[in-house]
Chains A and B, each alone.
Chain A
């Protein structure tokens, strides 16, 4: 075949290299894919001496988590927020850190998706997965830190990240989740400046 004759002329990547690359991809799934989790935009506001966070998260489930959800497996989605004070010669000092956990669950009987805020206990149910994920991804006025804890002369960083919590999956699923890139849904850290207003 002409392709074969052609292929003999062009240098090919050795199969071992390809195998290694495949293995690496399996072990370290890329984050921030088009299908995964990401942080769209964030905004902080000072209300009654407390800094509050507004954020919009884009949450899209990949095939395997989606299948698990449909089969009654609850998924936990964690929102990590930290306030850091950068230092010149050392790593940044952590001023505050909080984690918000949500549990997403499918009700077969009502055919609705329920979002349960594990921190506040609040439950919301949605008619569709898209609206559930949209509702989950809309963060409004989340209190982050008391303004008194911040030095007005300093400059702070606010980091925000959202991820699918693999450790909260049922144990049998966990091994598979660790080894499959489909399950590694993680936005990574999104940073924004936080300048205390005097």
Chain B
């Protein structure tokens, strides 16, 4: 069923099959009309043609039904173009139906009147009277023949059966009768005489003739005999004792016979025509009705077809517009006609094509921009220098990872905030932002600044380069700040310088010290005994002072020498806690004024280190702490060990006065000391030892005192250190 519907739907939209069918219907209608006009050739096809036409009409009706159904469905669904199609179909149908119906109405009238006009009362009467006239003319002849036959019968009366044939021949020749037959009452032939030599068997009368003769004694009637024209058949009863009949057959003259034939056939024809008048009208009307239906159905179907054809480009356009509205520019619209509507669809297609191309171009360039931006971001991300960009209003636009790392604050979430707000939000970085501000506010084209940053994790020295970006192609002007953490570099430079100083000192001062000491001692030995007691006392004091000071100088030179010349490290895996405990033991007994506390995390990893150097480090740190606690009651030194990020951290905390601000920056440099005596190399050596072990350290002031944190890389559980290449970096 659905397949049939689908076929109907397809057939109703394709013009060829329907056009063929319309032509076929027209041809068959023409044949039907020809058959209706009683053409013998087509007459036989009449029924077939009627059936074919009705079948064609049913198919056409099916097609129209399918079209209508589809249109109704589309209309209900509110499909694009369905309203216009419906309106066009309605207009076309009205335009087709009205004239065809009018023509049909008048044609029906013409058929009625045309058929009726063939018949006339006068002709009717004339025909009837012609027949009557012919009949009476023939009747007269037949009465004459009856009289003749009676005469023959009278003359035959009493003739014996044996003479009958002879007598009959004689009488026939005498009267000019065609055939004379004497038959018995039951119709048996007794004797016959015929002028036609070919017919041996006489034309025998049927039962009706015999019955009529028995009843009325006579019978007379016209008898058309095949091949011999019209005859008059007369039968009379023969006088006599036996029941005998005389049958006579009289020919009509050929002219009379022909005329009678003509009258007969014309009358028959006319009578038939009159009789067929109503059926003829009906047949004509029926044919006309079929023509009407074929025209109507074809017109209605054509209305559907052309309405759909007309609306098709509009529907296509609507679909295209909807697709464009939905952002689909790829939709290709088929051009179904080459009229204005077709060219409209064509130009719409071209327009969407151009838009699509432009959009693709835009997408491509956007992708390129994104790629370039990603590239830039990658480059910035991998830069070791920190990069900040700000717009004209000093709002942070972009930050790279290195900037956050150097500044020790996650600035990537701070983009879009103003400099003022950043200062408030990040008090640790306020110095940094405050240092940038004057350059940015004056919009300096190029500037350079070194910024020293004090952070809890230590002192940082940053070098900043700033550039003012000019406005380019609508991108508002702004600033780029590039900065680097040069703390380590500067430190390394200082360390190197100090190393050099120490070496020179050791070399230049150590050498003259021994002769000075020896000379002082010789002076004392030689002159002290011989001098006056008063002079001797001066000498003793002076030489004593020289020797003492030289010794002090030698000690100092020794310390410098040690600082400058670091021995090779003897690394081994060791437990830091154990080592610290050992070192602390030395102090616990000696110094009762200070309390020592050791806290350590359980399962602390081991560190790879030189135990001798570490002991020195610990001594230096502890001594420093004890020194800072000098003269303060209730001193307390706490050492805590814990694991942090693959390292072991050792924090030494005291409750002393803290690190004075004036030396904080240079805490780990030689001669950074506030102590009245001491070389000032203690923390510098500590720093060197930590660096030799690939560690790091920093100092900070807490609420109670100072705190110094040393970080050393831990040995992995598998026995490997995190830093694969750990070796001494001491210089020669």
Contact = CB atoms under 8 A, between A and B. Distances in A.
Contacts of A71: 271-272, 274-275
Most-contacted residue by chain B among A108, A111, A167, A175 (CB, 10 A): A108
Most-contacted residue by chain A among B131, B230, B264 (CB, 10 A): B264
B279 A172 contact: yes
Contacts of B279: 170, 172-173, 175-176
Interface string A148-183: 000000000000000000010011111110100000
A175 B50 contact: yes
A73 B276 contact: yes
A107 interface: yes
Given A73-B276, A108-B131, A175 B44 contact: no
Nearest to A167: B44
Nearest to B128: A108
Most-contacted residue by chain B among A71, A73, A106 (CB, 10 A): A71
Given A167-B44, A176-B279, A114 B272 contact: no
A171 B36 CA distance: 6
Interface string B273-306: 0111001101100100000000000000000000
Contacts of B264: 107-110
Contacts of B131: 108-109
Contacts of B263: 109
B50 A122 contact: no
Interface stretch (A6-14, A27-35, A93-101, A125-133): A125-133
A112 B208 CA distance: 12
Interface residues of A, dominant DSSP: mixed
Nearest to B127: A108
Contact of A175 (B222, B271, B286): B286
B202 interface: no
Contacts, number: 94
Interface in A116-154: 122-123, 125-128, 131, 135
A178 B230 CA distance: 37
Given A114-B224, A174-B46, A72 B283 contact: no
B282 A171 contact: no
Contacts of B135: 109
Contact of A171 (B35, B230, B270): B35
A167 B230 CA distance: 31
A106 B268 CA distance: 8
B374 interface: no
13 contacts: A72-B268, A72-B269, A73-B276, A105-B268, A107-B268, A109-B138, A109-B222, A112-B223, A122-B226, A127-B209, A171-B283, A172-B38, A175-B286
A178 to B, nearest CB: 7
A68 interface: yes
Interface residues of B, number: 39
Q: How large is the interface on A (under 10, 10 to 19, 20 to 34, 35 or more residues)?
A: 20 to 34
B206 interface: yes
A110 B264 CA distance: 8
B320 to A, nearest CB: 53
Given A127-B208, A172-B36, A108 B221 contact: no
A111 B272 CA distance: 16
Given A71-B271, A72-B269, A131-B206, A110 B224 contact: yes
A100 B135 CA distance: 34
Contact of A174 (B47, B209, B226, B268): B47
Interface string A55-98: 00000000000011001110000000000000000000000000
A125 B208 contact: no
Contacts of B276: 73, 170, 172-173
8 A-B pairs closest in CB distance = A71-B275, A72-B268, A172-B279, A172-B280, A72-B271, A109-B264, A72-B272, A110-B222
A8 B499 CA distance: 136
B272 A108 contact: no
A110 B269 CA distance: 15
Nearest to B273: A72
Contacts of A176: 279, 282
Interface string B122-146: 0000000001001100100000000
B249 to A, nearest CB: 13
Contacts of B286: 175
A171 B43 contact: yes
B251 to A, nearest CB: 15
B283 A123 contact: no
Given A108-B264, A109-B267, A126 B44 contact: no
B683 interface: no
B168 interface: no
Contacts of A67: 275
B47 A172 contact: no
Interface of B: 35-36, 38, 43-44, 46-47, 50, 131, 134-135, 138, 206-209, 221-224, 226, 230, 260, 263-264, 267-272, 274-276, 279-280, 282-283, 286
A127 B222 contact: no
Most-contacted residue by chain B among A68, A71, A72, A135 (CB, 10 A): A72
Given A170-B38, A171-B36, A175-B286, A125 B224 contact: yes
Given A71-B272, A72-B272, A109-B134, A172 B282 contact: yes
A125 B271 contact: no
B260 A109 contact: yes
Contacts of B268: 72, 105-108
B467 to A, nearest CB: 101
B221 A110 contact: yes
A54 B60 CA distance: 53
Given A72-B268, A73-B276, A110-B222, 19 more contacts: A67-B275, A71-B274, A73-B272, A108-B264, A112-B223, A126-B206, A127-B208, A127-B221, A128-B208, A131-B208, A135-B206, A167-B44, A170-B276, A171-B38, A171-B43, A173-B279, A174-B46, A175-B50, A176-B282
B206 A170 contact: no
A67 B223 CA distance: 23
Most-contacted residue by chain B among A67, A105, A110, A122 (CB, 10 A): A110
Given A68-B275, A72-B268, A173-B279, A167 B47 contact: yes
Contacts of A178: 47
Nearest to A178: B47
A175 B224 contact: no
Contacts of B46: 171, 174
Contact of A112 (B36, B50, B224): B224
A128 B207 CA distance: 11
Contacts of A72: 267-272, 275
B278 to A, nearest CB: 8
A173 B131 CA distance: 25
A121 to B, nearest CB: 9
A125 B272 contact: no
A171 to B, nearest CB: 5
A74 B283 CA distance: 19
A126 to B, nearest CB: 7
A154 to B, nearest CB: 36
Contacts of B44: 167
Contacts of A109: 131, 134-135, 138, 222, 260, 263-264, 267
Nearest to A125: B224
A176 B46 CA distance: 13
A150 B206 CA distance: 38
Most-contacted residue by chain B among A172, A173, A175 (CB, 10 A): A172
B670 to A, nearest CB: 126
Nearest to A177: B279
